[in-house]
Amino acid sequence: MPIKKILVANRSEIAIRVFRAANELNIKTVACYAEEDKLALHRFKADEAYLIGKGKGPVEAYLQIDEYIRIARISGADAIHPGYGLLSESPEFADACEDAGIIFIGPRAQTMRDLGNKVAARNMAIASEVPVVPATDALPDDMNEVKRMAAEIGYPLMLKASWGGGGRGMRRIMDESTLVSEVSEGKREAKAAFGKDEMYLEKLIERARHVEVQLVGDDHGNLVHLFERDCSVQRRNQKVVERAPAPYLPQAVRDELTASAIRLGNAANYRGAGTVEFLLDADTNKFYFIEVNPRIQVEHTVTEVVTGIDIVKAQIRLLEGAVIGTPESGVPKQEDIHLNGNAIQCRVTTEDPEQNFIPDYGRITAYREATGFGVRLDGGTAYAGAVVTRFYDPLLEKITCWAPTADEAIARMHRALREFRIRGVAT
């Protein structure tokens, strides 16, 4: 069934990204905004906009499942796109949409439950013969038992939250002397971020690259990959530079990596857009499964420009019932998906590098962005006169540069970044 109107249960850059895809498909759009976001650009990019979470906090306002369902009914939206972050990985949200007869543009709720818990996803990877990093099960409250489990895996270790992503709760633990304090602090951070404090320990690969495979599946059992991205450049466990494809990856390793991602996706009966993330040992080129992100990702743009596939449009079309490999889906059969050139993405954020990258806020007094051949911009409230508040993620603009070779893509990115002029806030 064709979707006629999409409500985006998100804000800023990703909301605008979905609105653009919907507009090109001649689908009406609905925005939601918190009181603190009443001047945010995404509110004015949709056909309709509604205040959400009145009286709630600036982030809590965007977590009101019942409110989204109510606004969808009022506006006549027959589908909801969750974007990334916020409620994008909430099986309860997917369930609520299904109960209300609204299409949730994402994986099935059960798929999110199966993959959302990293320990359960790891077990599924093992069953699918996908390599995994040595790790513990969920950590108990008994710290003596935690110490025993840590010693069994062997130091150094990485502490991770079983639920959620974005590096929340993640800690490096080099020896037993910091184990108890780091586990306790990690649990507190995970509880605050995800409402759950379940953690596990994983063997730390010290010279690791972060490589991920983009998957797209339809409702008819078809699943394809759109090759890989490199996301190794990170700060505080947050990605800041992404590339597609990974230029250092031998073809044999690429083939094995993508085949592993497909096996895991098939095991999960995956539908929609999702990403299987791996660690690659830089010394041996051996790779290990980390997690599955059952949603669109910030860095999806680099995959789009090297494959020519609009992933957000594909999400919409496939949830309308289109079949991969047909013109209606916008996604070719696997053998017809090819890499074309190289892409790199950088994130312009309102953070002060001279103050340990703390977020900055205020009014943007001057704004000049890059342009030219091979330069793509995806932004939120980014223009002269815009007010950047202290309430939200400091991402201001994403720049994606394409070129035939990796070196040319880097040179183009350098040029594009030099063209930017932003005054009023630190970037």
Question: Which CATH number belongs to the domain containing residue 16 in this structure?
Answer: 3.40.50.20
Q: Rounded to whole angstroms, how far apart are CA atoms 297 and 168?
A: 16
Q: Rounded to whole angstroms, how far apart are CA atoms 264 and 213?
A: 11
Residues 158 and 36 in one domain: no
For the stretch 226-243, pLDDT in tens is 999 999 999 887 899 999
For the stretch 80-105, pLDDT in tens is 999 998 999 999 999 999 999 999 99
pTM listed for this prediction: 0.86
Between these two residues, 284 and 310, which has the higher pLDDT value?
310
**Degrees to nearest 5, angle at CA 328 with 304 and 220:** 95
Residues 351 and 372 in one domain: yes
Question: Is residue 321's pLDDT more than 90?
Answer: yes
Residues 231 and 335 in one domain: yes
Query: How many distinct structural domains can be found in the chain?
Result: 3
Q: What is the mean pLDDT of residues 234-260?
A: 94
Question: Is residue 165's pLDDT more than 70?
Answer: no
Whether cis (ω within 30° of 0) applies to the bond prior to 394 is no
Query: At which residue do the structure tokens 């980390």 appear?
Result: 290
Q: Which two tokens stand for residue 20?
A: 């653009």
Q: Is 372 inside any structural domain?
A: yes
Residues 299 and 322 in one domain: yes
Is 337 within 8 Å of 224 (Cβ atoms)?
yes
For the stretch 24-81, pLDDT in tens is 999 999 999 999 999 999 999 999 999 999 999 999 999 999 999 999 999 999 999 9
Question: Is residue 116's pLDDT more than 90?
Answer: no
Active site residues: 239
Residue 375 DSSP SS3: strand
Q: Where are the beta strands (DSSP E) in 120-198?
A: 157-161, 171-173
Residues 267 and 304 in one domain: yes
Question: Is residue 149's pLDDT more than 90?
Answer: yes
Give the residue ranges of DSSP H helices in 268-354.
300-307, 311-319
Q: Which two tokens stand for residue 281?
A: 């040992």
Residue 179: give its domain's CATH number: 3.30.1490.20
